[in-house]
Structure 1
């Protein structure tokens, strides 16, 4: 029998499943005029469809036109609210249903538990669970699955496991979900025990266990499991690429990456990120250009890695090419790509373009502000950086220790001594941030640059941290600015106890002796570098071959 030849009451459910709101109103009008509305099933479908379309008021209009509403109509309105994301309203309807003395059925409980899970309302869900238990609905698979999902979404692992153990027949998806809950909290032993107990496994089972080992940095076990996998997909391989790269074996990670038969953008991003995190910026940029030749569409994470590589290489030309030819309207990617663009321009010397990007970025996060403040300071625009900090405070953003470090750096490089001291002294009192040794280092550098060497030394003596090589280096820099070799020698005596590599401070001291024509002292200081086996990182420059771009 064709669909057209079916009775109208049998055709209406299919029509309502895909109709627009205007069509829904026509169908409902027909039901009223033809007396089909007296049957509770058809109006309940109208209620559900109206709620699914987001027309809750119209759904309630149909609902309350029934006197009294049938259980089917209560369920339809609750289901519609759940499916349209109005979870709170679904719970309110359930409460009202109980107040009216109505008895929910398995379909009611299934949607209520799903709404509780979406809202992570575990306590409300537990109360509903007690009602379902008394009514005997908790044994019905539809309800039990919803309960399991509720406890899983609410991170109530003990309750989720009780529900899991209560299933006489467990689908493979249920095993996988229970295992992923253990992986999510880092309980790899329980996850592995469950994995070994599974009567059958699919690729999701293997990937979940693999992700668990990688999550807790058990890379050797991850490698062994990866070798045992009967079937691997792009997810499996990408997870292993990241795990191998995290151990520092970029060659092994790249070898596996090249073996992935069908790489997606996540795979490329994983390898790109591995290169940038390990400081292999040239390899990252080469890989990004290779990605373009394969026709892979980049996303925001791709651009962040590529722009980070450009920033550290000082490759403004490639950075501009990525900006104008690939990203285009970067605003659609949000603050993450905007901040990467800003940092690229700033590190490549184009601070004006960086500031234009900053102004255009709509929803700036704290990191975005921090980067711009630091960039302005590095480019000698300390006053602009300080004004930006004042604007940031007006925005009522939650400042962090990096914000204060950036503004102290700006004050140091802009000669804003009093402003810098005031900010440092107000860190704990006003911003509730305890100064770290890096903040003390910025303050000491600020005072030394202002030729207030004695004050800086007093800060070193009073700070609650053991001075590191950077602190002593800042103090020694102040001695060099004043050409005070006596004070510098005093500082050098205290540096002897520092275990860190301090080639820079010995070079400063040697140059100070040389500037004072104390050549023998300069030579002895240089010899100390060899005697103490202190290494000095040689300077280097990068040259970009424009023909290769």
Structure 2
């Protein structure tokens, strides 16, 4: 009879364990009811299993009911219910049960200490520990010290950590891995790496877990060489050792080392997990190592991680960073299960590869599947709206961020500051900036860049100096904004001073963009010889943008000598770039050297090169309307051209004179005027005047820089129509209002 009873109890325990593993509380309760009805006096060990299971499933009420059904609870029963309260952080009930216990042991005290620790109460945990000590050290065990060390680490409590370290040594627990590892980990997380190393050296015996803990600690702290030496000193290395090294290299920007270590790890035939694959894929994406990334992908396919959501998301991210958006889409579509990380990886990938519209659509699809965005997702989709210059959609996301509370995340607020700046609403950008409670370097840089785009040099410099006064450290992007503002306002000396301070005071090594800003600074001010001297002193040659910048100013100032010099380098650097031919043609055309212009055009034809056609677009009623020069394909072309004729008449009465130098063809003046009248931005502006309601600004985007005539004409249009016109070209924003432009005619 007793054998049968015991056998059935074991069977019930096995069933209960299965239900707990599957988080099936309903079946656990049904089993409990069945036992109560069929077994008059169930064994205490069976009831203890129910207490533990209900506690693990979060059903503390049922756990307490089972405990109350035990006529004579053992110490194990008391500890089980106490542990259930402890794990759920129910410390008031836990205290009541602890005080009611007839006897206590080390497990009882550990449950009390762990319960307080789960609630984050250092004071109560330490008080319980001291009471435990007052009863004698016989109750102490490795769990006690491990719990308190983890608590000290989590809250950065150095004093508690040192005290527990002393007791670990005093009571002889240094030989326990379960204590030694959290001790080393605690000092590492507190940034006290010397203490971590000392504690490690004091351990009488070291196993792979302790080595892994110190290696990881040396990596958070940037001690890469030390961690590498420790790794090589290990007699035995497991998967965690290798993964710790790979992850550490990736986190410290040493992507190539991470890839090399992964390659060596594959030769060891060790088991890899999602963290190994995730880290090495991040490394491959970081250095755009597509070939290695594909090899890792092939390796993953042969493992159990080919359908792992974490690994698949890392693959999407890797392919996106390697500019292989189609491969990323393939991986993404094959994923059977997607979470917010997966969707965000695809969304960010679209944005990084210039597919901003697809990024916005992906965000919409993500919500259709019931996936709630986090702050990073929201910030990313807002950035895509900024790249599209879509202030309407961006404003909608702003409203949603306010409603959802995501606006409180700095990533979202920073993206919105950038959005309004890129969309030409610098006032809204500044307003949001002023409302933010917390600002970081990215926040300040976003506003600095926004003002720089508008050519508001004084405001940009003032912001930059305020940023420094607040003790924030500007980065490379900040200086690009400030230097570009100086160049567009002709502040050569100020720009020179800031460039020098970037190198000497802020220890930032200039990149290509900084040098391009300096070339622009000299060139726009007409100091072309200084620009040439600056280029000759650079540690490397300018890129295509740098040469084009100089060449463009040579056209404006009519300097054929430096213009030819710049054009030759640009043609050599990028033989298929038409900018060198077009800009040099304009230099010759301004001097009336039409034979040279014709020669350049023949060279272009012989090489199969075609100038990129200029186009402008305007968004109206959720539709983008695109125009090119002399375009008559639009359904409202007749009304648009009629509106242009009326505008020309009004503009000429106000004093507008067409700028013939903007035409690079040797034709009669009447033909030049006709060509100028039908430039793409003028067609787009006419469309805006016809359909955008009065009182609202007309927003135009252009794929090339605004020509001199269109810039001048738009000033007159803003005056005769009393409308605000915002034009975003490849270089900057132009806000035209009352016959003036925000750039001060310096672009």
Q: Same fold (TM over 0.5)?
A: yes
Q: Does structure 1 residue 81 correspond to structure 2 residue 156?
A: no
Shift in alpha-carbon separation, 1:485–1:64, aligned structure 2, 3 A: closer
Shift of 1:439: 2.6
- In the other structure, the counterpart of 2:216 is 153
* 2:302 counterpart of 1:228: yes
Moved more, 404-413 or 157-166: 157-166
1:159-170 equivalent positions in 2, closer than 5 A: 165=236
How far did 1:114 drift?
A: 1.3
User: Structure 2 matches for 1:357-372, cutoff 5 A?
Assistant: 357-372=432-447
Picking from 524, 527, 530, the partner of 2:605 is 530
- The one of 262, 276, 290 equivalent to 1:188 is 262
Deviation (angstroms), 1:543? 6.1
1:514-529 correspondence to structure 2 within 5 Å: 514-529=589-604
The answer to whether residue 508 in structure 2 is matched with residue 508 in structure 1 is: no
Q: Distance in 2 between matches of 1:110 and 1:476?
A: 69
Q: Does residue 531 of structure 2 align to residue 456 of structure 1?
A: yes
The one of 133, 141, 154 aligned to 2:204: 133
Determine if contact 2:91/2:116 at 8 Å carries over to the other structure: yes
Which residue is 2:172 aligned to?
Answer: 103
- Does 2:385 match 1:310? yes
Distance in structure 1 (CA, Å) of the matches to 2:366 and 2:527? 53
* Superposed displacement of residue 436, structure 1: 3.9
Contact 1:330 1:337 in 2 (8 A): no
Aligned to 1:3: 67
Deviation track 1:310-365 (CA, whole Å, cap 9, x = no partner) reads 22222222222222236645654533222222222222222222222222333333
Contact 1:52 1:83 in 2 (8 A): no
Q: Could you tell me how far apart the structure 1 residues matched to 2:592 and 2:91 are?
A: 91
Correspondence for 1:201: none
* Conserved 8 A contact 1:191-1:209: no
Question: Are positions 1:477 and 2:552 aligned together?
Answer: yes
The CA distance in 2 between the partners of 1:232 and 1:248, in whole Å, is: 23
Distance 1:6 1:292, change over 3 A: same
Alignment of 1:19-38 (within 5 A): 20-23=90-93
| Equivalent of 2:357 in 276, 282, 289 | 282
In structure 2, C-alpha distance between the alignment counterparts of 1:432 and 1:131, rounded to whole Å? 40
CA distance in 2, matches of 1:270, 1:540: 32
Distance 2:522 2:199 in 1: 65
SS of the residue aligned with 1:456? helix
Whether contact under 8 Å (2:307, 2:336) holds in the other structure is no
Distance 1:305 1:54 in 2: 34
Q: Which runs of 5+ in 2 are unaligned?
A: 1-43, 45-65, 220-226, 248-257, 625-747
Q: Which runs of 5+ in 1 are unaligned?
A: 139-143, 167-174, 199-203
Counterpart check, 1:408 vs 2:483: yes
Which residue of structure 2 aligns with residue 171 of structure 1?
none
Contact 2:313 2:341 in 1 (8 A): yes
SS, match of residue 263 in structure 1: coil
2:180–2:200 CA contact under 8 A, matched in 1: no
- Asked if the contact 2:386–2:423 (Cα under 8 Å) also holds between the matched residues in 1, the reply is yes
After TM superposition, give the deviation of residue 50 of structure 1 in Å.
Answer: 4.0
Structure 1 stretch 18-27 or stretch 449-458: which is displaced more? 18-27
The answer to whether residue 402 in structure 2 is matched with residue 336 in structure 1 is no
TM-score normalized by structure 1?
0.80
Change (3 A) 1:271 1:420: same
1:496 Cα deviation from its structure 2 partner: 5.7
Match of 2:204, SS? Answer: helix
Query: Hey, what's the Cα distance between the residues in 1 that align with 2:408 and 2:349?
Result: 22
| CA displacement, residues 378-434 of structure 1 (integer Å, 9 cap, x when unaligned) | 113221111111111111112223222211101111233332222123333322234
Contact 1:382–1:411 (CA under 8 A) maintained in structure 2:
yes
Residue 271 of structure 1 and its aligned partner are, at CA, apart by 1.7
Pair 1:240–1:97, CA change in 2 (3 A): closer
Distance verdict in 2 for CA 1:420–1:229, change over 3 Å: same
CA distance in 2, matches of 1:491, 1:234: 51
> In structure 1, what is the equivalent of residue 501 of structure 2?
426
Q: Is the 8 A contact 1:116 1:150 kept in 2?
A: yes
Question: C-alpha deviations, 1:468-522, integer Å up to 9, x for none?
Answer: 4433333333333333445545654665654465532432332233334333233
Change (3 A) 1:489 1:126: closer
CA apart distance, 1:213: 6.1
Does structure 2 conserve the Cα–Cα contact (< 8 Å) formed by 1:345 and 1:353? Answer: yes
Output the aligned Cα RMSD.
Answer: 3.9
Output aligned runs, 1:208-287, within 5 Å: 208-209=276-277, 212=280, 215-216=283-284, 217=289, 218-229=292-303, 232-287=307-362
User: Aligned partners of 1:512 and 1:324: how far apart in 2?
Assistant: 49
Q: Is the 8 A contact 1:48 1:76 kept in 2?
A: no
SS at match of 1:232: coil
Q: Provide the C-alpha distance between the structure 2 equivalents of 1:380 and 1:224, rounded to a whole number of angstroms.
A: 50
Instruction: State how far apart, in whole Å, the 2-side matches of 1:420 and 1:206 are.
Output: 49
Could you tell me how far apart the structure 2 residues matched to 1:431 and 1:22 are? 54
How far the C-alpha of 1:533 sits from its partner, in A, is: 5.2
- SS in structure 2 opposite 1:346? helix
TM-score by length of 2: 0.61
Query: What is the CA-CA distance between 1:70 and the residue it aligns to?
Result: 1.1
Matched, 1:325 2:400: yes
Report the CA distance between 1:257 and its aligned residue.
2.0
Q: Which one has the largest radius of gyration?
A: 2
Tell me, yes or no, if structure 1 residue 394 matches structure 2 residue 461. no
- Tell me which residue corresponds to 1:119: 187
Segment of structure 1 superposing worse, 492-501 or 378-387: 492-501
Contact 1:334 1:361 in 2 (8 A): no
**One of 293, 314, 332 as aligned partner of 2:368:** 293
Indicate how the Cα distance of structure 1 residues 333 and 40 shifts in structure 2: closer, same or farther if over 3 A, else same: closer
